C-alpha cells in the first residue's frame, strides 16, 4: 500500500467533517430541482437499487450530494452512518470501494441501522459495475448513491447491472436555477405546471405576464453567455466566466477524461471535431463535410461524436420517423449548454449581435430545458423535415402516443403563421392540434391559429400554436413545480 491507514484515514475524515461534529463548509442555501429526487431516493427508495447521478463535470453533483447528506443528518440520521468519498482523489482511487469501506469500519465500527454511501466519480474504479451489483444484491442495509461524468456508467455492464441502479441524469443549470443561484429578484409570475394550460389564457393575461417578465430579458441573455455551470455563473466578469468554462471544464474533459476513461490518443483531432460542432451546433450534422474539412475518416469522426455524447458535452437528435429512410438521415447536434460555443469561439457579448448565432444558442438552451425536464418519462425527442426537405420542425417530442412539436423563432419581429409553415405542415400531416413556437420578443406571447384543420372526436378543429417567449418557456420548464408534460 502506497499510504498508511493513518494517512488514508486523514484524507477520508477531511471529506466527512460530520463524523467529528463539524458543519459542511460553504454549503449553498439554494438547491437544484434534483435535490428532492436524490433525498427521496435515499430516504425511501421505491426499489432496492442504487442511485446513479449522471452528468457533465462541474454541474453541481458533489454539492448536491453534500446537501442531501446535511438533510439526512438534520433529520436524525447518525453522522457515523454516512460516508462520502470521491474517486477523483488518487489515494482513494487506489483504495477502491471495498478498501474504503474497510477503512471506514476501522474508524466507525458497524452498528445497527442503514448505512448511506455517497461515492463521486465511480467510473474511475475498475469493475465498478460488478461491485455495485453485489452491493445491491447482498448488502440490504446499505443505500448507495454514485456519480459519474461519463455515459459508460450506463452503457457498460448493463447486463450485470440491469435492475441494480436507477439513473438520474443531471443537466447544467436551468434558467430558473440560474436566477436562484445569482439571487436575482424574480417578478411575481404565475405558477404554471403545464405549458398546455396557457392555451386557455386570455389576451389580457398574456399581456400582463409579458409586462411583468420584461426585467428578465437581460438576465436571460446573460444566462446564454455565462451558461449553466454553477462556478461560471458566479464569476464576476463575463470574460472570466467564459474562460473558466473553456479552460477548466471543456479542456479538462477533452484532454483528461477522454484519455483516462476512453483511451483517446488523438486528442488534437478530437478537439478539432468539437470546435467544428461548436461552429455548426443546432443544425444537421453533415458528416461528409466535416470529414472533408478536417481530413478525418468517417469511423474516426463517428467514434469521437459518440465519446462527446458519452461525456455529456453534446446531445444527438435523430430524425422523426421509422425505417431505412431514418437510418440514412442525418442527426442534429446540440451542445450541452448554450454558453459552450461562444466560450470556445471567444465570442463574448458579440453573440447578442449575431442573430443567427443567438438563435442557435436559444434553440440549444430550450432543447436542454425540455429534454432535462421530461427525459425520465421515456419521451422520445427528434426533429422533423417535410418530404421535400424544405420545411422543418426543430423539436418533436413523442410521449404516450402523442406528438408535441416545438419551433424556435428567436428574432426581433413578431412571428406569424407564414413564418411557421413547417409547423403547420407537420400538424396537418400528423393530425396534431397544438404546437409551440419559442419566440424572442416578450410581447409576442399569444395564441396563433394555424391554417390547417385536424380531426378530433368532436369533428374537425383548427390547429393552434402557442407563441411563448424563450425566457418564459425556459423559466417555467426549469421550475420545481412543473410536473406535467406540456400537452397534458
For 55-73, how does the pLDDT look when each residue is reduced to its tens digit (9 = 90+)? 888 899 999 999 999 999 9
DSSP state of 461: E
Residue pair 470/440 in contact by the 8 Å Cβ criterion: yes
Please classify residue 189 by burial: count the beta carbons closer than 10 Å to its beta carbon, then call 0-12 exposed, 13-18 middle and 19+ buried. middle
Cell of 36: 428532492
Answer yes or no: is pLDDT of 48 > 60.
Answer: yes
Query: What is the reported pLDDT for 178?
Result: 96
pLDDT in tens, 212-224: 999 999 999 999 9
pLDDT in tens, 322-372: 665 565 678 999 999 999 999 999 999 999 999 999 999 999 999 999 998
Query: What is the reported pLDDT for 390?
Result: 81
Tell me what the pLDDT averaged over the chain comes to: 89
Name which of 174-188, 262-276, 348-362 the model is least confident about: 262-276
Residue pair 224/339 in contact by the 8 Å Cβ criterion: yes
Answer yes or no: is pLDDT of 158 > 50.
Answer: no
Cell of 476: 417555467
- Stronger pLDDT, 309 or 412, i.e. the higher one: 309
Query: What is the reported pLDDT for 44?
Result: 92
- How far apart CA 13 and CA 108 sit, in angstroms, is 11
> Helix or strand or coil: residue 23?
coil
Could you tell me the domains of the chain?
A: 5-170 (3.40.50.300), 176-478 (no CATH)
- How far apart CA 322 and CA 382 sit, in angstroms, is 11
pTM over 0.85: yes
Q: In which residue are the cell numbers 464569476 written? A: 235
Dihedral sign for Cα atoms in the order 92, 96, 99, 102? positive
Answer yes or no: is pLDDT of 250 > 90.
Answer: no
Dihedral sign for Cα atoms in the order 351, 357, 361, 362? positive
Distances 457 to 131, 401, 430, 461 between C-alpha atoms, Å: 54, 16, 16, 10
Query: What is the reported pLDDT for 323?
Result: 60
Residue 81 φ then ψ, to 5°: -95, 5
What are 83's strand-pairing partners?
117
Query: What is the reported pLDDT for 259?
Result: 82
Residue pair 41/51 in contact by the 8 Å Cβ criterion: yes
Of the candidates 449, 387, 455, 396, the one whose C-alpha atom is nearest the C-alpha of residue 418 is 449
pLDDT in tens, 84-129: 999 989 889 888 999 999 999 888 888 889 999 999 999 888 888 8
Q: CB 44: neighbour CB atoms within 10 A?
A: 8
pLDDT in tens, 414-469: 889 899 999 999 999 999 999 999 999 999 999 999 999 888 877 889 999 999 99
Amino acid at each position: 500500500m502506497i499510504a498508511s491507514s493513518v494517512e488514508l484515514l486523514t484524507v477520508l475524515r477531511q471529506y466527512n467533517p460530520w463524523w467529528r461534529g463539524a458543519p459542511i463548509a460553504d454549503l449553498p442555501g439554494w438547491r437544484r430541482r434534483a435535490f428532492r429526487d436524490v433525498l427521496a431516493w435515499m430516504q425511501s427508495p421505491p426499489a432496492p437499487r442504487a442511485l446513479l447521478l449522471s452528468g457533465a463535470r462541474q454541474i453541481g453533483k458533489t454539492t448536491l450530494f453534500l446537501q442531501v447528506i446535511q438533510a439526512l443528518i438534520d433529520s436524525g440520521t447518525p453522522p457515523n452512518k454516512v460516508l462520502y468519498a470521491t474517486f477523483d482523489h488518487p489515494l482513494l482511487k487506489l483504495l477502491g470501494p471495498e478498501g474504503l469501506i474497510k477503512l471506514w469500519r476501522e474508524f466507525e465500527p458497524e452498528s445497527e441501522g442503514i448505512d448511506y454511501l455517497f461515492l463521486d466519480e465511480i467510473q474511475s474504479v475498475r469493475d465498478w459495475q460488478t461491485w455495485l451489483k453485489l452491493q445491491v444484491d447482498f448488502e440490504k442495509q446499505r443505500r448507495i448513491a454514485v456519480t459519474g461524468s461519463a455515459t459508460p456508467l450506463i452503457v457498460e455492464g448493463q447486463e450485470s447491472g440491469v435492475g441494480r441502479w436507477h439513473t438520474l441524469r443531471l443537466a447544467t443549470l436551468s434558467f430558473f436555477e440560474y436566477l436562484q443561484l445569482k439571487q436575482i429578484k424574480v417578478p411575481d409570475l404565475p405558477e404554471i405546471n403545464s405549458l398546455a394550460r396557457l392555451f386557455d389564457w386570455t389576451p389580457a393575461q398574456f399581456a400582463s405576464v409579458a409586462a411583468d417578465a420584461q426585467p428578465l430579458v437581460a438576465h436571460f441573455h446573460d444566462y446564454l453567455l455565462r451558461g449553466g455551470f454553477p462556478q461560471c455563473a458566479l464569476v464576476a466578469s463575463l470574460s472570466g466566466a467564459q474562460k473558466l468554462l473553456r479552460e477548466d471544464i471543456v479542456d479538462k474533459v477533452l484532454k483528461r477524461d477522454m484519455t483516462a476513461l476512453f483511451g483517446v490518443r488523438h486528442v488534437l483531432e478530437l478537439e478539432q471535431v468539437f470546435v467544428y460542432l461548436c461552429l455548426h451546433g443546432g443544425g444537421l450534422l453533415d458528416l461528409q463535410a466535416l470529414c472533408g474539412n478536417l481530413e478525418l475518416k468517417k469511423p474516426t469522426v463517428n467514434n469521437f461524436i459518440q465519446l462527446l455524447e458519452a461525456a455529456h458535452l453534446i446531445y444527438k437528435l435523430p430524425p422523426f420517423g421509422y425505417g431505412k429512410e431514418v437510418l440514412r438521415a442525418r442527426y442534429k447536434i446540440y451542445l450541452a449548454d448554450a454558453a459552450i460555443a461562444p466560450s470556445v469561439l471567444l465570442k463574448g457579448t458579440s453573440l447578442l449581435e449575431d442573430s443567427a448565432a443567438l438563435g442557435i444558442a436559444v434553440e440549444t438552451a430550450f432543447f436542454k430545458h425540455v429534454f432535462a425536464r421530461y427525459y425520465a418519462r421515456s419521451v422520445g425527442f427528434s426533429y422533423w423535415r417535410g418530404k421535400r426537405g424544405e420545411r422543418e420542425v426543430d423539436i418533436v417530442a413523442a410521449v404516450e402516443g402523442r406528438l408535441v412539436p416545438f419551433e424556435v423563432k428567436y428574432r426581433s419581429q413578431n412571428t406569424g403563421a407564414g413564418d411557421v409553415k413547417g409547423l403547420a405542415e407537420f400538424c396537418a400531416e400528423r393530425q396534431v392540434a397544438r404546437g409551440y413556437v419559442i419566440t424572442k420578443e416578450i410581447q409576442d406571447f399569444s395564441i396563433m391559429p394555424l391554417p390547417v384543420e385536424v380531426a378530433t372526436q368532436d369533428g374537425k378543429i383548427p390547429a393552434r400554436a402557442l407563441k411563448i417567449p424563450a425566457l418564459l418557456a425556459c423559466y417555467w420548464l426549469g421550475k420545481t413545480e412543473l410536473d406535467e408534460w406540456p400537452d397534458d
